[in-house]
Amino acid sequence: MLASLFLGFRILAVWALMLVVGGFLWSGLFSGMDEPPGWIYGLLAMTLMVFTLSAIVGHIRRVSLIADRLDTQTLGNRHRRQVELPLDAATAFRLLEQVIGQMPRLEGFERSVGTLQLRATQRRADPYGDRPPSRWNLLARLAIKRNQITARVVPGTDTSSVTLLFEPDAGAWVDLLLLDEGSNFENAEAVTHALSGKVAEQRREEREQAARTEAEKELTVARLNLLHAQVEPHFLYNTLANAQVLTRSDPERAEQMLGHLIHYLRSSLPGIDQSVSTLGQELERVHAYLEILRIRMGARLALHIDVPESLYHVALPSMSLQTLVENAIKHGLEPKSGGGTVWILARELGGQLTVTVADDGQGITTHSNGTGIGLKNLRERLRLTCGEQASLAMVSNFPSGVAATISLPYVAPAPPPATAKVGVVIPPVPEYPHVP
């Protein structure tokens, strides 16, 4: 209340002083104040003081409604705000430009990206109607037609400091005589709250995005584990059943089969919860798997591996190589009376890694069209672990059989520690068939 009284007294005192000076000038020009036209000046002075008092009351009333308090800061025509934003300078400037650019009645908007400064001019309006600016503040209509907003962004280490200035588009002299009816304080509050709201909204979106990413990651891991568990679950049961039969007829072969099974489990179980393996680990697992099948199929199964040692430590989706080998044997070699050969090749060319599993079995038929659950799961694992850049292609081999190729971006592995190489027995084959 004291600030309001001081403001009203100051404005009225300045106007009274100006009227006194004007009275002396009037007396010098005319005969005096007691005779016409002196009384006209007195009437004009009295009317002006009434309008000034009305403008003071309107200004105080509106500021009290906006700010819910009255003090020197809220009652002034000019307002300064210092806002700290947890953003880099470029992002803070774009956010500031967006907030100020959405303000109503803008007539001018200038910005400088290089200096991180902007200036906007806003046409004033009557807060109680559609006429500019107030019906009672007559002098303000002539002197304060617009407000202006000046903003500057100062870069910091992890934050940016925004300096905002809200003031009438007029000289400093208007602060002694005229009032803006709280329009600049209203702009300052609106821009400050809008900036805080935008930052809070951005942080909320970031938290929601992080939560979605974490949920998608957990879902991906769960789906990978499910797909991993679906890859030929009957293989273990069939191997144990065959070993049980061989213990009666051929104990030595049964012991070999159990040994290869132990090797297979030893190479598989440590990474059962991992979605990504290495090409060397996949080769080791496939080798143990094929050794078990060679005991069952005998001379009907041959193997040829052509993988450079430099690619042993390249990342590869877990169980992907075994899925292709199982598909080649199940749908290509086992139904063929004379069996055949499985070829495993890997190459890196032009930033792309290709891993091919080929066979000379029955090939693609109406009964085996390459759309089984194993290949579906493999495509899904490739998509989940490597994205859309990974692919699986199946074509007919020449002169017979199928060639399945996994293609994915090549990522050079870190220098591997000194470990034992993958031991693979390569039986002799008469020739190397063409793989498209």
- Pair 252, 387 in one domain: yes
Best mean pLDDT range from 50-59, 80-89, 141-150: 80-89
pLDDT band at 151 (very low <50, low <70, confident <90, very high): very high
349 domain-assigned: yes
For 268, the token pair is 């598989």
| The token pair that represents 254 in the structure block | 């049964």
Indicate whether 89 and 175 sit together in one domain.
yes
**Mean of pLDDT over the chain:** 77
* 255-270 pLDDT tens trace: 877 887 777 777 665 5
Q: Is the peptide bond before 433 cis (omega within 30 degrees of 0)?
A: no
35, pLDDT greater than 70: no
Whole-number pLDDT of residue 424: 43
Starting at the edge strand found earlier in the chain, the sheet holding 301-306 runs: 301-306, 340-349, 352-359, 402-409, 391-396
pLDDT of residue 70: 82
Is residue 257 located within the same domain as residue 318? yes
What is the arithmetic mean of pLDDT over 105-112? 87
Domain assignment of residue 434, yes or no: no
Domain membership of residue 392 as a residue range: 230-409
C-alpha to C-alpha distance for 315 and 381, rounded to whole angstroms:
13
Confidence band, pLDDT 50/70/90 cuts, at residue 346: very high
Kindly report which listed range (98-102, 216-220, 283-287, 403-407) carries the lowest average pLDDT score: 216-220
CATH number at 186 reads: 3.30.530.20
Q: Is residue 212 part of a domain?
A: no
State the residue for tokens 């935008």: 198
Two structure tokens written together for 319: 């169980």
Total domains in the chain come to 3
The pLDDT, as a whole number, for residue 301 is 85
251 in a structural domain? yes
Q: Are 282 and 321 contained in the same domain?
A: yes
Best mean pLDDT range from 25-34, 228-237, 328-337, 366-375: 328-337
pLDDT tens, residue by residue, 196-233? 888 888 888 888 888 877 777 666 666 655 555 554 55
Which one is predicted more confidently, 433 or 236?
236
pLDDT at 179 over 70: yes
